[in-house]
Structure formats: structure tokens, C-alpha cells
Amino acid sequence: MIELRDLTRIYDGVAAVDHVSLTVERGQIATLVGASGSGKTTLLRMINRLVEPSSGQVQIEGRDTASMPVHQLRRRIGYAIQGVGLFPHQSVAENIATVPRLLGWSNAQILDRVDELLSLFQLDPATFRDRRPGQLSGGQTQRVGVARALAARPDLLLMDEPFGALDSVIRAKAQSDLRDIQSRLGTTMILVTHDIEEAVRLGDRIAVMDRGKVLQYDTPAQVLAHPATPFVRDLIGPSERVYRLLSLTTVAEIAIAGDAYGPAIPRDLTLREALAEIMRSGRDALPLEGGGIVTLAALRARSAR
């Protein structure tokens, strides 16, 4: 569990982060979202002490990070940033092995871990381990960057706009891969983004920041359904709110018994995708693979929440 208590950072008399308190439960993803300059990066960097707080505390599993030697703290915390910063003259394997090597892992352990991570990120080890960063696509580079941050099995992974440089299709894939990997490894993650869509898709909880303060910290469903302030409502985009809400739920979750005509849809489709299919095909109910139906009335009821 990560606890931020009254965390503040002052630059030139101005609070970049202003008395922020929040808790991230073990094994959850918290996303920090807000406009440029709202303090997201500063907040993130105070957690691994790349920036020292002016006041307040960060506790990891009940221990105040200020009392830990910085190198010890950073070993437990993975850090991935936009643009990744892979070492260009090292192979993919050497890049991923950076922290395990510093920690004195044996060669055999390192080789195993590199192959395990490459497989986890759907990069064939035999093809990719000896490549140089210059021989990777943008999406592959990004995945190697996150793999490197996870290499030494950190308790916590901090990510600053990790997918910022990717186009929207690859970005969606990278996000769903990350969700998948997180649920398998159970790593606690804190991710900075300026993209509310990404914050909603990835966060178990979202912290909305403005001028150094956290205006709301809650589940995506709560933030979308009950924005705490006009600023949060504007950030969500009032006209987009319904679609974002629908994208949080799969059709399997609201299926009812019954029959409907036409091709069946996969059970893990989101309500947003089902709505698009309903509009496209002119039907008012869709059958699900494996049984049950989802109706337009049920989608309407969900979006009215």
C-alpha cells in the first residue's frame, strides 16, 4: 500500500503539488490525470525521490520513504517514462537486464527473466532479445521500456505518459497489454497521463489534478457519474461522458435471457462497442456468443446512471 500524506512541493514560492493525500492499495492501478503543469510529474517523482518533498510524507507498506536510502528505495520502484530512454548501443536483453545486473542476479536468472518478460509482452525472445532499440517499432520500444522497469520485480511501478508517443491503435493495444500484465503480476502501478480516456481505461482509481491539488480521487465510474467539481466535469467532456461510462462495462455483465436475431457478439465487448453495433445494424437487441442478449433498453438504463 502506498500512502501520500499532505505531500507538498514548492518551487519559487509556488506549490507545484499542494497538500496531496491519497492511498493506492496494493495491486491496484492509480492514474493521475490533469492539464499540463497541474503537478502530475512532480507528484510521481516525489514517490521515488527524484524530487524531494518540501513537506509531507510518502509511506510504502507503512515505511516512510524519507528514512530509506535512495538507492534501496529505487530498487523497489520501477520507473518508465515517455520516450523510454533505452540504451541505444545495448541489445534489448541487456536493456531489460539493467537493474537485475546491478542487483547481482546470476546470468542464468537474468536470461530467464529477460525471456519471461519478452514473452509476457508478446515479443518472441529468439527474435527480439539480441536486437538493438533502433531495430524496434515504436510500440515494441515502449513495451521493452515497461519490461525493463518491471525486470527486478518491483513492488511498485511508476509510469509517466508511457504511451504518449504511440498512435491511437498501438496505444490501445499497449494499454490492454498493460492491464493484462498488471492483473497477472499484481504490481501496484501509478501512471501519469493527460488523456482522460487512458485514465479511465487503466485506472482502478483516478486522481484528477489541477494546479497542484487533487480535486477528486475515486473509481472511474464514480468520477464519470459524479464529477466533484465543474473542472472535473469539463475534463471528462460532458458530451463524451455517456460513452466513457459505457466503455467501463462488458456486455456479459448486463446480459439477460432471451433471443435476438443476427450474428452473436463476443461476451467481452464493451457496452460502447455494443451500442455502435446496434446503431450500425439497426437491431434493438444483440445475441451474445454462448447465450443471452443485450438490449438497447439495458444500454439506455446504464447510460442514465
Ligand X SMILES: Nc1ncnc2c1ncn2[C@@H]1O[C@H](COP(=O)(O)OP(=O)(O)OP(=O)(O)O)[C@@H](O)[C@H]1O
Q: How far is the CB of 37 from ligand X (least distance, A)?
A: 4
Taking CB under 6 A as the criterion, the residue among 28, 41, 65, 141 binding ligand X is 41
Q: Of these, 7, 30, 31, 40, which contacts ligand X (CB under 6 A)?
A: 40
38 binds ligand X (CB under 6 A): yes
CB of 97 to ligand X, least distance (A): 29
Asked if 42 touches ligand X (CB under 6 A), the answer is yes
User: HEC string of the chain?
Assistant: CEEEEEEEEEECCEEEEEEEEEEECCCCEEEEEECCCCCHHHHHHHHCCCCCCCEEEEEECCEEHHHCCHHHHHHCEEEEECCCCCCCCCCHHHHHCHHHHHCCCCHHHHHHHHHHHHHHCCCCHHHHCCCCHHHCCHHHHHHHHHHHHHCCCCCEEEEECCCCCCCHHHHHHHHHHHHHHHHHHCCEEEEEECCHHHHHHHCCEEEEEECCEEEEEECHHHHHHCCCCHHHHHHHCCCCHHHHHHCCCEHHHHCECCCCCCCCECCCCEHHHHHHHHHHHCCCEEEECCCCEEEHHHHHHHHCC
Closest separation in Å from C-beta 39 to ligand X: 4
CA angle 114, 120, 122 (to 5 degrees): 105
- Of 94 and 197, the one with the shorter C-beta distance to ligand X is 197
Q: Kindly tell me which of 36 and 106 has the beta carbon lying closer to ligand X.
A: 36
Between 193 and 250, CB nearer to ligand X: 193
Q: Which of 30, 31, 33, 34 binds ligand X (CB under 6 A)?
A: 34
Q: Does 87 bind ligand X (CB under 6 A)?
A: no
**CB-wise, 33 or 73, nearer to ligand X?**
33
Site string for ligand X, 135-174 (x = CB under 6 A): ----------------------------------------
194 binds ligand X (CB under 6 A): yes
* Residue 2 is a binding residue for ligand X (CB under 6 A): no
Is residue 53 near ligand X by the rule CB under 6 A? Answer: no
- The interface region with ligand X, picked from 38-46, 215-223, 261-269, 292-300 by CB under 6 A, is 38-46
Closer to ligand X at the Cβ: 20 or 96?
Answer: 20
How many positions of this chain bind ligand X (CB under 6 A)? Answer: 11
Measured between alpha carbons, how far is 199 from 147 in angstroms, rounded to an integer?
21
- State in angstroms the smallest separation of the CB of 40 from ligand X: 4
Establish if 36 lies at the interface with ligand X (CB under 6 A).
yes
Interface residues with ligand X (CB under 6 A) are 11, 16, 34, 36-42, 194
